[in-house]
Structure 1
Amino acid sequence: MKFNLITILGPTATGKTKLAVQLADCFNGEIISADSRQVYRGMNIGTGKDLSEYFIDGRQIPYHLIDIIDPTEEFNLFSFQQSFYKSFDEIKSKNKLPFLVGGTGMYLSSVLQKYTLGKANFEKEKQILSSYSDDELRDILKDLNPSLHNTTDLNDRERIIKAIAVSKTEQEKTEAQNIKSLVIGVNLSRDEIKKRITTRLKKRLDEEGMIDEVKTLMDSGVSYDKMIFFGLEY
């Protein structure tokens, strides 16, 4: 086969998971999540894990990189890339086809563009950059890595610092990992996406218990700042 990976990407609420599950069922595949928040245990409603979608006719399609660490732990681009390669090799060893589904742009790029990464020290970088203004941090990131500058939330100080740390440890891209991916993009009109997001959020708040989920997370030791960092519904 020409491709050894199928990547399904696109905006939130466009049905990526449902499509991936259907294709994985047809082509003897397993799914690797490229969502930066679904790795965390206990964050089910706000991240839209929708684990029921991984079942077809009573059979579960195996998935990877969901519910693998606690929300109080650190998980970054380096962590994801290493975990992805481990899952990729595991799936291939079973003569099955990996499906990468997401999600988080930097995670997808680290695989598709074959980043070579070092293990970024975010806490050390945070201390070094603590005296810099937000504007200065944006300028540093732009000089280090314009592509990350264009895809990072530039209003979130911690995200900027993390992007700087990643940029300082990223070396040139390499072909060392033999990933040949077919990329399938999923999209809908802007109005339809907004409609789906609004409907989904109301359901999570009114029917699925998202407020209780947030309370449980904070009671378990997840700080207010960390909840803000998780973003979106949280």
Structure 2
Amino acid sequence: MKDTPDLIVILGPTASGKTRLAVEVAKRIDGAIISADSRQVYRGMDLGTGKDLEIYGDIPYFLIDIREAGDTYDVSQFRKNFHEALDGIRQQGKRPILCGGTGLYIQSVLQRFDYSEVPVDIAQRNELETLEIDVLRDRLKQLPSPPGFNADTSTKKRLIRAIAICTWCQHHALPSDGCAPIPAVLFGINPAVEVRRQRITDRLRVRIDQGLIEEVRELLQKGIPPERLVYYGLEYKYVTRYLLGELDYETFFARLNTEIHRFAKRQMTYFRKMEKDGLEIHWLANGPIDDMATEVVAISAII
């Protein structure tokens, strides 16, 4: 399609097959992939974040393994790194593909999102993390909301970030990195719920067999504080608690499995929010779990 933006976005919930689809599309159009995943940036956090680097083959990829495990990374840093990667891909003459499940990161480069530049106040964040989610919601309601800011309150972490933004904006002018929103064509993967649930559970078992618990044990042995791994959530939170003896194996697996299902549901909720915010997503009919030929053809017809 002649007037289609050169940036392609492939998004979807965890375990939906985003990476494999992005790689297949990249092979067809001489593309390179930029990861939009808030945890794949960390080195040594491989199985828990689902990097699946063997899938890429010769396809170039960016924003994976760019930070040490134990570091912090936020949407402001992502925006900067995204634009650097995008420039590099364009200079190589390749077609950029943004692929991932962190809707906040994706939206931050597709629409003007200056609130992402609000700096992190570590002391405030540590204090807010001790509060229950209902207390955080009450606190957010008491704060004036900056113009055009729509707080995402779907998780405790996002509630804390919303409070930080509203607090900071009471005393500062909004910063801007000067980067304009990037035009893009978006494709979404949304397998049937029962398929997604089975895929999540099966993949968790495989990753445990592949060494997920050993991966987290090694991170702890390298000196990464348990509370930092817990902060990364999901696999790192529950494996850490299991290794510390806080959970037996059966409880660990059941709770983690449930939380990943909930996480996938929250991802879909955020993608729907993106649509309400004006981003058109072309939802693929079948959801590429095993056979992606239909989806690749559908994408190719548009791009």
TM-score by length of 2: 0.67
Q: 1:16 aligns with which of 15, 18, 21?
A: 18
Equivalent residue letter for 2:108: S
Is 1:202 matched up with 2:205? yes
Distance 1:81 1:67 in 2: 16
SS at match of 2:67: coil
Equivalent residue letter for 1:162: R
Q: 1:112 to 1:21 in 2, by over 3 A?
A: same
Distance 2:125 2:105 in 1: 21
Q: Which residue of 1 is the match for residue 161 of structure 2?
A: 162
Q: Count residues with an aligned counterpart.
A: 225
Q: Which residue of 1 is the match for residue 89 of structure 2?
A: 91
Distance 2:35 2:56 in 1: 12
Equivalent residue letter for 1:105: G
Distance 1:128 1:63 in 2: 37
Moved over 6 A (4+): 172-175
> Structure 1, residues 20-75: CA drift from partner, whole Å, max 9, x if none?
011111111110000001000000011110001101xxxx1000000001121111
Q: Which residue of 2 is the match for residue 64 of structure 1?
A: 62
Q: Which residue of 2 is the match for residue 112 of structure 1?
A: 110
SS at match of 1:148: coil
Provide structure 1 residue ranges, at least 5 long, that are not aligned to the other structure. Answer: none
Q: Which residue of 1 is the match for residue 257 of structure 2?
A: none
Is 1:37 matched up with 2:39? yes
1:198 offset after TM fit, Å? 0.6
Q: 1:176 to 1:141 in 2, by over 3 A?
A: same
> Structure 1, residues 196-217: CA drift from partner, whole Å, max 9, x if none?
11111111112x1111101001
Distance 2:85 2:132 in 1: 39
SS at match of 1:45: coil
Distance 2:218 2:227 in 1: 15
Q: Which residue of 2 is the match for residue 125 of structure 1?
A: 124
Is 1:5 matched up with 2:7? yes
Measured on the aligned residues, the alpha-carbon RMSD in Å equals 2.7
1:113 offset after TM fit, Å? 1.8
1:77–1:166 Cα contact (<8 Å) kept: no
Q: 1:229 aligns with which of 219, 228, 231?
A: 231
Q: 1:12 to 1:205 in 2, by over 3 A?
A: same
Provide structure 2 residue ranges, at least 5 long, that are not aligned to the other structure. Answer: 237-303
The percentage of counterpart residues that share the same residue type is 40
Distance 1:79 1:119 in 2: 11
Q: Which residue of 2 is the match for residue 52 of structure 1?
A: 54
Is 1:137 matched up with 2:136? yes
TM-score by length of 1: 0.85
> Structure 1, residues 140-182: CA drift from partner, whole Å, max 9, x if none?
44553774334x413xxx5532343345469499995251100
SS at match of 1:221: coil
Q: Which residue of 2 is the match for residue 185 of structure 1?
A: 188
SS at match of 1:233: helix
